[in-house]
A and B are shown apart, each in its own frame.
Chain A
Amino acid sequence: MTGAGGGLVLRTEELKTFYVLDAFGTEKIVKAVNGVDLEIRENEVYGIAGESGCGKTTLLKALYSAIEPPLRRIGGKVFYVRDGEEIDVYSLGKEEKRRLRWEYVSYVPQGSMSVLNPVKRLKDSYGDFLESHVAGKTRRGTLAIAREHLHQLGLPPKVLSAYPHQLSGGMRQRVTIALAALLGPRIMIGDEPTTALDVIVQRGVIQLLKSVQETLKNTIVLVTHDMGVHANVADRIGIMYAGVMIEEAAVERVFEKPLHPYTQYLIDSLPKFGDKSLKQSAPGSPPSLAELPGGCPFHPRCPHAMDVCVQKMPDIVTIGEDHKVACWLVEGDRDGRAA
């Protein structure tokens, strides 16, 4: 099993990034990431789950330090752990950040067209890439490296002579993943890499991610709202709701014994083959990140809400080995479900 290394590769501390919007005099603050503490380990696939609008994409942007107005970092830090040393990402200069990008941490976005240059053939994109990060190689040398890399990942090297639009969506996504893995980064961040793809193609892309991780023995942070994908590929999962992490555990634990009421609703409502019994959604709808309720953000919808839930944000409690929950219900009860 992975994650056995135990060493950290990325850490965040009380990370807060908000969108500050101003439209004709009315100011709106969207608290997309509202105090997130993460510890992501070496050699694991860490999945971040949550519905749309919970802040997971913003969290990824913050992890990748791609923060631009109107998104602003209000507080907290992000550390990359390299050779045992912690690097505060937001205190780095531009050149140092550029060095880290793609060599230490790389990013696979949802739409692959935003990574690949649409007017260049793939071999030129790959070539540019390698040239700017690996010194002293000729164009032919870089091409050979690219070909070998694709071959190792099981992709046909002939795609190098194509333009991005000539490839199918699935192939483009796989080529982008290959590009992200080219320089052997320690962290690969994927933002809904398979959401727009067909089922069979999705399987191929996920399998590619898995094989990249197994080969490089690095960390993959995968964001998707599809719990099935998480079940298939993640080692640990963090559930995000309204800008905060409400539960984090090994993937089996999350599916078997979810502790937070929201996670329980989520797992219960997943349709399963062979099971035609009635499934229910969580009542109500998620809050707008611009108008968060006080205290625990889930309390308006929670059937077990108590007074303290309305007033204070729950602290994060660790249960057993590695199971973290942010819920007032779980304080005293360390074993069973909070039902």
Chain B
Amino acid sequence: MGALLEIRNLRKDFAFGSLLSRLRITAVDDVSFHVMPAEIFALAGESGCGKTTTARLILGFEEPTAGSILHGANRKGRRRKREKVWFTQGVQAIFQNPFETFNPLRRVECYFFETVHNYGLSSGRKGAETLIDETLKAVGLSFREVSGRYPSEFSGGQLQRVSIARALLTKPSLLLADEPVSMVDASLRMSIVNLFKRLRDEFDVSVIYITHDLATAYYVCDRIAVMFRGNVVEMGGVESVLMSPRHPYTKLLRASIPEADPSKRWKARISLTDIEHEEYLRRGCRFAGRCPEVMDVCRETVPPDVDVDGVQVKCFLYDEATMRTKGREVAADVG
């Protein structure tokens, strides 16, 4: 298949509480997807859906409770413990807050030189500087601009570019970007987002773009997986999933995005849930408590993943067998 990264049935449980009362929350539950080379893949959802935990699992900062994460050539089952994927598999990461990404008391170039030194990318100071300068040019900066400066001397947008440059130094094949532009001003976001597109087109870098901002995800990504409370509820091409959403949660999400167009104001009122943490502990479909089209089976059993025109939807409404027993038609394709 040639996938760069394959996630199979990934599961991560967190346990809270003391010896007497332990609460187990499944932050990531039976998640499977794959990322192809030179592709921007969005992992989208609201807070608490498990997207950041999935990223940490891929990076190896957390150990999965079950399931496997397979990188490129290494397709033989589970990774060895504590494998440093940034060294062995060419995976790097970019974080949300550029001012937290760097130590405010150190010059940013220190991280560049350390990376060069630790990965053995170049020998000698001169060689390192040339390499760093090249990489910075790729993001629209230069070594001269960056040299000798502390993080507080940059703007958010510039610093995020610096962060991307640091990640690019090791020529990764996969970049995990966790909300890379949510803390960058609206007027500067596009330049960074366009940068991701360039990386995909010119350098064959794949990006896992983690975000809750569906509008930007629509603009920049090729494929998208929508997550809700640890499950992937809908996954497919971004045009398909976001322009004609099928899963009731995706529909609700899409409809709730305030569009930058006064003629498209919200008409209907929605009611909000107060029972967030209960949703994690549900037996069946996690969205059953709020779904406008909920059926009894939804509360009891976890829905299967159904393929609807190339989009994978985790919902009984699209499952032929279930709908037939109810004497109903499978839900119409157009959301």
Contacts and interface: CB of A to CB of B under 8 A. Distances in A.
A281 B219 contact: no
B187 A262 contact: yes
B259 A231 contact: yes
Interface stretch (B164-172, B270-278, B300-308): B270-278
Contacts of B276: 168
A207 B270 contact: yes
Interface string B228-240: 0000000000010
A106 B315 CA distance: 45
B148 interface: no
A253 to B, nearest CB: 10
Contacts of A228: 215, 257-260
Nearest to A279: B190
Contacts of A265: 187
Contacts of A207: 266, 269-270
A199 interface: yes
A285 B158 contact: yes
Given A269-B187, A269-B190, A280-B190, A202 B258 contact: yes
A286 interface: yes
B271 A204 contact: yes
Interface string A260-288: 00100111011111111011111001100
Contacts of A282: 187-188
A203 B267 CA distance: 11
A226 interface: yes
A229 interface: yes
A55 to B, nearest CB: 13
Nearest to A154: B271
B188 A272 contact: no
A281 B274 contact: no
A225 interface: yes
A276 B243 CA distance: 12
Contacts of A170: 272
A51 B253 CA distance: 25
A4 interface: no
A272 B252 CA distance: 17
Nearest to B275: A168
Contact of A271 (B215, B264, B266): B215
Contacts of A273: 215, 218, 242-243, 254, 257, 259
A317 B187 CA distance: 24
Nearest to B153: A288
B234 to A, nearest CB: 15
Nearest to A252: B262
Contacts of A279: 190, 194, 219
Given A51-B187, A201-B272, A282-B187, A272 B260 contact: yes
- Report which residue of A159, A174, A227 has the largest number of chain B beta carbons within 10 angstroms of its beta carbon: A227
A258 to B, nearest CB: 12
Nearest to A250: B262
Given A262-B187, A272-B259, A200 B265 contact: no
B256 interface: yes
A168 B47 CA distance: 12
B333 interface: no
A85 interface: no
A171 B273 CA distance: 9
A231 B215 CA distance: 15
Nearest to A270: B260
A270 B188 CA distance: 10
A276 B219 contact: yes
A274 B214 CA distance: 12
A9 B265 CA distance: 26
Contacts of A138: none
Given A199-B214, A200-B252, A279-B190, A206 B258 contact: yes
A1 to B, nearest CB: 12
A326 to B, nearest CB: 17
A285 B153 CA distance: 13
A22 interface: no
Contacts of A255: 260-262
A232 B266 contact: yes
A227 B274 CA distance: 27
A95 B275 CA distance: 42
Interface in B25-49: 46-47
A226 B261 contact: no
Nearest to B191: A281
Contacts of A233: 258, 265
A227 B189 CA distance: 13
A77 B308 CA distance: 62
Contacts of B215: 228, 270-273
A8 interface: no
A225 B182 CA distance: 11
- Report which residue of B186, B188, B265 has the largest number of chain A beta carbons within 10 angstroms of its beta carbon: B186
Contacts of A203: 256, 258, 266, 270
B151 to A, nearest CB: 15
Contact of B212 (A198, A270, A274): A198
A225 B186 contact: yes
Contacts of B185: 51-53, 225, 286
Contacts of B189: 269, 281
A265 B274 CA distance: 39
Given A198-B46, A276-B218, 5 more contacts: A168-B274, A231-B261, A232-B266, A273-B218, A280-B190
17 contacts: A52-B156, A200-B256, A201-B46, A201-B272, A203-B266, A227-B186, A228-B257, A231-B262, A231-B265, A232-B259, A255-B262, A269-B186, A271-B216, A272-B215, A276-B218, A276-B219, A285-B188
Q: Which 9 A-B pairs have the closest CB atoms?
A: A228-B258, A51-B185, A198-B46, A271-B219, A281-B191, A204-B272, A203-B256, A270-B260, A281-B190
